[in-house]
Structure 1
């Protein structure tokens, strides 16, 4: 007697159900085993009273398979950049470009900023075999080519962002450091000046040999010396008085050396710099000022109003500088730019944070809205808080996103390339890919990212270490993070070889 179709379906359903139960039980056992091993790594990490939160997700299922204090809000340091850059990609799109335009309106030259953090970025210019001087020369040449020899006014339009250039949470004693560079609607040269010094050939005090970009009206005070001494080494430091561009260069200078110092009020400094360069080429400039009010910059009409130059930077380039090289300025500029795009007002830290929260809800659901509190874009603020489980949910959402995921993951640090992972993970197997973001501020060390194999299997992970005691070296936290990645790499290799069911 032949079994009925219903009987055959029922039998098949029961078999599949049994297999699902077996696989589910194995997956649960596998996850429990992995979590136990991560807990063992934490116990043996010699971290003292350090607070550690860990979340690991299977990229195939999106399920969290390791959950250790995963819902505790923690300071993410530069892991905050994952949210800033991801939200920028989500809102602006992969084809977005930051733009800066030179617009000539009769006898008025407008420089219209788009908040581009890469304008005059020395690293990107070097890739083009350019320098800051090359870029400035190109700007001046376009004005000369227009036939203009006298400008009544040079206007810098930085209104795409607010004019709160310094975040209130940033350490006041570090505002002259490049990682605390001001953030403006028109940025230039990473908003720093690079000063070089060398011993005096006449045997006197060391001398300043160059400043890039050259700002001839800024004359740093020289407190350098060249006194020799046993085991003496060359060191240079530069202080800047807050809210001014009064600088002091100090240190023992026994050989040529250079250092960066941030610039205050970059749009005004740039206006004076461009005026100086134009006048050096015979183009007289009457006055310089920042744009005011709500009247927009003129639009090119091909007649009396002409766009002389448009400088564009791809969003992907800015994301890579943000995530691979951990450039804070690039993160802050993306945050303010999405605030502007989302609310059509001047970009700010507040409306940028609201934009990120909106994207978190859109991509992850409202249950993760309380898993993030954002104060700035780069992670310099200690008021930023995220939960490890929200970090891995965020990473998983991009890893599984066929449209935006590739660009997002490519922007992250890779141990095979130069960046913040240099010297770490050198012994990863060749078939294991790692894309992640580091994060460090005082007492905080974080690592979050995605590790995968050549078969497409992978995990999103987040290991956040907070309140690291002063007597515990940061290297201990890094070793824990590296051990977790190594454990996941071995899991992926075992799974690929079909031997992960030990």
Structure 2
């Protein structure tokens, strides 16, 4: 038995080397180049048609994935919630009307964590102004000229802690770090407009916010940068203060320039705008704002309007093609509601169970959010590749999932790879989700080889020494090899 055991051990140990022979020079680059030799690398690829691993370099090593984590969250969302899943936001009245046109009771808003409510990312979504028009049309049709009671927003079931643990301070005041909320609107985002100075170094003047948000206060340290330098401005929340520090630069040479910030309290911002709309329409009111679970008691409840999100398949397209953090975190919260609460931790537990239930490698997996914004997320290229393999072979929603990835070399695609691989076999072949945060660059997705076999791949690099574009160049060569 001993000789046979030795032979089996030899064959097992030689498998990665056999798989990697055709990639030998490219993998040596990871060990010897100035760009990667001190970096952490995890590379993995599976030929789905053959059910065979064809590339493995440190495939089980867990690294920060950045936005490549979105392919995990979106897969779990589609498979568990379903492609047709929709969020719902309801407006109703609980109380009674007097003959004089006074409504005595509560205006009730029941959200469900819909990231598309009043969103700007999906064509055909009602703006928050159009939402107001729909709600107030029904209020006016009911003959209501005065409201006495409350505006009650049901925020039960979600955590009051809006930001996942381990998000960076630099992110949480800006539009891509809006956190998790049961009530969202306008992408939990506002536009902050500046008037730049005449020359670089001049102060930049704050003009306004859109929408107008009461209570936002700024300490303005924003400066004017060179013409054409783009958005290099940041919005920092100041601990213990109801103010935000504005730093960085906006470009010279334009009349005005806007950057995007995250709403600190979307429900409060919306109710403030709601009260302004009541006043604008001549409806007088004496109301209190209540953020709690909805309890109507014996009062009659009359529905004003229900607003539904697009189906989840469309939301997932925005997640993967546009790398939208808010949409991803809200899908994770919806998964958390499967365990009774829309908390990040509950959603992560559902994702973890999904991976384990489908025998997807998850050793040493450590997740802190759904979008990959935290540098503390840790996952391996093997885990991502096996998930991609599972979706292609067993996933009920694979078609919707596959179509959500950016298409390389397709100038008409809405993703970020319009020119990547143009003039090569990569173009209009590879589907790639990228990820980038400080020191992290990742690609994961699918590509067909010349035989037509579909290949799932995941490339993760942390702490490279150089430009992300240089890492992309190496990834491009790996993809060209996979496509042979």
Query: So what's the TM-score if we normalise by structure 2?
Result: 0.83
* Larger mean Cα displacement after TM superposition, 60-69 or 210-219: 210-219
Confirm whether residue 340 of structure 1 aligns to residue 360 of structure 2. no
* Aligned equivalent of 2:277: 277
Contact 2:116 2:125 in 1 (8 A): no
C-alpha deviation, 1:340, in angstroms: 1.0
Q: Once structures 1 and 2 are overlaid, which stretch shifts more, 452-461 or 399-408?
A: 452-461
CA distance in 1, matches of 2:178, 2:139: 29
Q: Would you say 1:165 and 2:162 are equivalent positions?
A: yes
User: Which runs of 5 or more residues in structure 2 are unaligned?
Assistant: 1-14, 96-104
Q: Does 1:86 align with 2:75?
A: yes
> Contact 2:92/2:301 (CA < 8 Å) preserved in 1?
no
Which of 392, 399, 417 pairs up with 2:392?
A: 399
CA displacement 1:395-443 (0-9 Å, x = unmatched) = 0111123631111111122232122324322234388522221111111
Contact 2:348–2:368 (CA<8 Å) still a contact in 1? yes
Shift of 1:54: 0.7
Note the 1:123-162 alignment, pairs <5 A. 123-124=121-122, 127-128=123-124, 131-151=127-147, 152-162=149-159
- CA distance, structure 2, for counterparts of residue 230 and residue 399 of structure 1: 48
> Gaps (5+ residues) in structure 1?
1-26, 492-502
- Shift in Å, 1:287: 2.7
- Shifted more, 32-41 versus 327-336: the winner is 32-41
What is the correspondence of 1:442-461 to structure 2 with a 5 Å cutoff? 442-452=438-448, 456-461=452-457
SS at match of 2:87: strand
Is 1:99 aligned to 2:88, yes or no? yes
Partner of 1:36: 24
Residues in 2 aligned to 1:194 and 1:387: alpha-carbon distance in whole angstroms:
37
Shift in alpha-carbon separation, 1:291–1:331, aligned structure 2, 3 A: same
Q: 1:428 to 1:371 in 2, by over 3 A?
A: farther
Q: What is the alpha-carbon distance in structure 1 between the residues aligned to residue 222 and residue 70 of structure 2? A: 37
Question: How many angstroms does 1:328 deviate by?
Answer: 0.8
Cα distance in 2 for residues equivalent to 1:197 and 1:35: 51
Instruction: Work out whether residues 449 and 482 of structure 2, in 8 Å CA contact, stay in contact via their aligned partners in 1.
Output: no
1:120 is matched with: 118
Distance change >3 Å, CA 297–CA 77, structure 1 → 2: farther
Match of 2:192 in 1: 195
1:211 to 206, 209, 232: 209
Please tell me whether Structure 1 or Structure 2 has the larger radius of gyration of its CA atoms: 1
Q: CA RMSD in A?
A: 3.2
The TM-score normalised by the length of structure 1 is: 0.80
Separation (CA, whole Å) in 2 of partners of 1:154 and 1:257: 35
Residue of structure 2 in register with 1:499 after alignment: none
Bigger drift between 136-145 and 331-340 goes to: 136-145
CA contact (8 A) 2:19 2:56 kept: no
Residue 445 of structure 1: CA displacement?
Answer: 0.7
Richer in helix (by share)? 1
